[in-house]
Amino acid sequence: MATAEAIFRTGLPRLRHFDPSFNCSSSLLSVNPADGRSRSRRNHGSKALVKCPAKVHARGGNTDALSFGRINKFAGRQDSSRCKCQQQSETFGSDGGSGGMSIPVFDVNGGQEFALQQQLKPENGNVVVGGNGALMDGNGTATTNTDGQPKGSSSNPIEDEAWDLLRASVVYYCGNPIGTIAANDPNSSTVLNYDQVFIRDFIPSGIAFLLKGEYDIVKNFILYTLQLQSWEKTMDCYSPGQGLMPASFKVRTVPLDGDEDASEEVLDPDFGEAAIGRVAPVDSEDGTSDLIRVLNNRLVALSFHIREYYWIDMRKLNEIYRYKTEEYSYDAVNKFNIYPDQIPPWLVEFMPSKGGYLIGNLQPAHMDFRFFSLGNLWSIVSSLATVEQSHAILDLFESKWEDLVAEMPFKICYPALEAQEWRIITGSDPKNTPWSYHNGGSWPTLLWQLTVASIKMNRPEIAERAVELVEKRISRDKWPEYYDTKRGRFIGKQSRLFQTWSIAGYLVSKQLLANPDSAKILVNDEDSELVNALSCMIGANPRKQRGRKAFKQPFIV
């Protein structure tokens, strides 16, 4: 079984029924077996804080310290009532012994604990991942080093530094790894919320650890994140339903009620009420299953719409240039009444003769022709784009390398909003000035997504070229969050240094390029049934579908 599949088969404790067999890591959650409610601090009102059930005694120290690396940062000794859950793993990242690494997972159907041998299975043989992260053959002989490189290859100092930094960003709860903080810059005086574990930001970190053969941190992250879902939360008189995921969470060490010499750890989630602009996380409430069902039923129509109407290349651009407007017909070519004058001058020069991409947005009488990296990369990875379109997107990357990559991968969008357009759309946002941050900034974390897309299409040389470019300066620049200017020459003016997902993105790329077969756990192949359905839709005649119906009885007017 592939690594990711094994991880996501892990059974999860129910919020309203606590499984008594869920020991060690599972017993970290302080849930009343009778009603499933988590204990909360008095001054947080309805805000649920997941707590470690064991008392931790300490002498001196900061009682509100972040617990990075161990159960807390107290300098004093701890008594024997340490959290029971520490017995699960005190040696995260250490050698787990010879052979494959077994971790406890829980069957969703029976709730029984069993040991699952984690494996990566490339086509050329049965290769397992040892507890130390090395790939091993069926005889237990290591075929790679612990960094994923072929056995006997030299160590990369930048890669070694990246692993050290990633491990230094790990957050522990009750002695167990639970996630990674967003940034770990020791020289920054304004922490803001970069010292929290962000749900989104952990994705490349989690993948890096999975590919390394270290699964506990991913398992713990999933279990605790699901337990942090809101069921009592109130934000500005709005009470979302059960299932709202936090944007981030923080591990705090707080005094224990009634005992001034004791303390305990709590997981403190942020649902967006403290974020800049009060940006809340995506709402995945009780209606999620119904939403997924509806989306599955409309997947064919959605895929057809994106592939047919959002795609642009030189042929399509020339077609739009010759559009007739104000067409009223079932057979109209210009279905969305797009005016040819909307074609921006930059696009005429930007569009190569070979290549294309999915545009940013489409609505009646308007097309947002900007190129957005994330959407196009994931259209390749997820097979939302056709095979031909996927290759064309990569052709665009190669043709417009100086525009989209230049001195640091990868432009989050192209081109940047400038002048009046910038003032209207961003509200004159000083952080999103042209060619900065989300307005045309260069983001190193996009490197791993480019790598997955390139490997899927059997064009890894594109990712290799980008990795070589990153290695020239990212370590010297202290692993920034993003870069500014049109060519990505400057470290971003408000960019955090030692940004974890920049570090993890680089490591994921290195591991995938060293072992391309491992990318299979991250991609979706095109569905043959979907292809057949799309072919039927393309050949359908709207006149036949919407023609007049014959009436059985005459009308009397």
pLDDT band at 20 (very low <50, low <70, confident <90, very high): very low
Mean pLDDT across the chain: 74
Task: Quote the CA–CA distance of 541 and 317 in Å, as a whole number.
Answer: 25
Closest CA to 14 of 223, 174, 217: 223
- Predicted pLDDT of residue 173: 93
pLDDT computed for residue 49 by the predictor: 65
Percent of the chain with pLDDT over 70: 62
Q: Full-prediction pTM beyond 0.85?
A: no
Cβ-based neighbours of 437, under 8 Å, separated by 6 or more: 431, 482, 484, 492, 494
Residue 104 above 50 pLDDT?
Answer: no
Classified as helix, coil or strand, 142 is strand
Residue 187: per-residue pLDDT: 81
Highest mean pLDDT among 26-35, 127-136, 272-281, 409-418: 409-418
- Per-residue pLDDT at 553 exceeds 60: no
Work out the percent of the chain whose per-residue pLDDT is above 90: 48
What would the mean pLDDT of 105-129 be, rounded to a whole number?
Answer: 37
pLDDT digits (tens, 9 = 90+) for 145-157: 544 554 434 489 9
Q: What is each CA distance from 551 to 68, 543, 548, 554, 555, in whole angstroms? A: 75, 18, 9, 7, 9
Instruction: Please give the pLDDT value at position 301.
Output: 81
Where residue 297 falls among pLDDT bands split at 50, 70, 90? low
